[in-house]
Amino acid sequence: MATLEIRDLHVSVDAEGAQKEILKGVDLTVRQGETHAIMGPNGSGKSTLAYSIAGHPKYTVTSGQVLLDGEDVLSMTVDERARAGLFLAMQYPVEVPGVSVANFLRTSATAIRGEAPKLRTWVKEVNAAMTQLQMDPAFAERSVNEGFSGGEKKRHEILQLELLKPKIALLDETDSGLDVDALRVVSEGVNRVRATGEVGTLLITHYTRILKYIQPDFVHVFAAGRIVESGGAELAQVLEDEGYEKYTGIKEVA
């Protein structure tokens, strides 16, 4: 059973020449089949956690460990991490002009699966996944994320999640910027992947809204670079009612 272990993770960023510590000792274990929600106010370091696990060069891990099935993730390159089974749905997906979605998806699936998917079944697979996410087939010919609306970007991220079938999915504010319809479509996509029982999900969010569609098994409150409280789904309701003030001293709704 796939397991992601984060142990006492400390991460800094380079802020005008000086190292600024953002993550201050994160401990978390996510197992296949589980869904963990990480909830915290803006600036608490949620994206930093997601990016550090994925290996973004901007972040420096100063101490701690990240293990996937006991393997040292931190010593892997970004693409090795993805091939090992990690997937990051980004809060702000990057535009890649001139690279079509179709080409991108196939190149990526080929890399992750270790061989090029058979063309006929691949086209069917992509079309089926796009239909379920209510994406126009013409989408495949557009450049990756270029000129996409916020909702289209998030659908495109979840499309990749469905096609790449990772062991561990990190979903960074997948709900932000989505209207209710889009949120439902995107959540259903995540739920289809969860229903396979083969993915461990780390659902990062500021607001409780998405948790009405995607029920977490565990909720962790994230503040000032670490997990400050953990509980079950009921903790989300407490946050909904009381906000983050208790953890940050600043009144902010969840």
Residues that bind ligand ADP (CB under 6 A): 13, 15, 20, 22, 40, 42-48
Helices (H), 44-179: 46-54, 78-84, 101-113, 119-132, 150-164
223 binds, among ligand ADP, Mg ion, another protein, none (CB under 5 to 8 A by kind): none
DSSP state of 207: S
Near another protein by CB under 8 A: residue from 24, 31, 83, 209: 83
Helix (H) or strand (E) holding 221: strand 218-223
> What is the distance of C-alpha 183 from the center of its chain?
15
Stretch touching Mg ion by CB under 5 A, among 5-13, 28-36, 89-97, 138-146: 89-97
* Length reported for the chain: 254
Based on the shown chain and the rule CB under 5 A, indicate whether residue 47 belongs to the binding site for Mg ion.
Answer: yes
Based on the shown chain and the rule CB under 8 A, indicate whether residue 107 belongs to the binding site for another protein.
Answer: yes
- Count Cα atoms within 13 angstroms, Cβ side, for 52: 29
Q: What is d(CA 109, CA 104) in angstroms, rounded to the nearest whole number?
A: 8
Our CB check for ligand ADP shows the closer of 130 and 221 to be 221
Binding site for another protein (CB under 8 A): 54-57, 77-79, 81-83, 87-88, 90, 93-99, 103-104, 107-108, 111-112, 143-144, 160, 164
Instruction: Give the residues lining the site for Mg ion (CB under 5 A).
Output: 46-47, 91
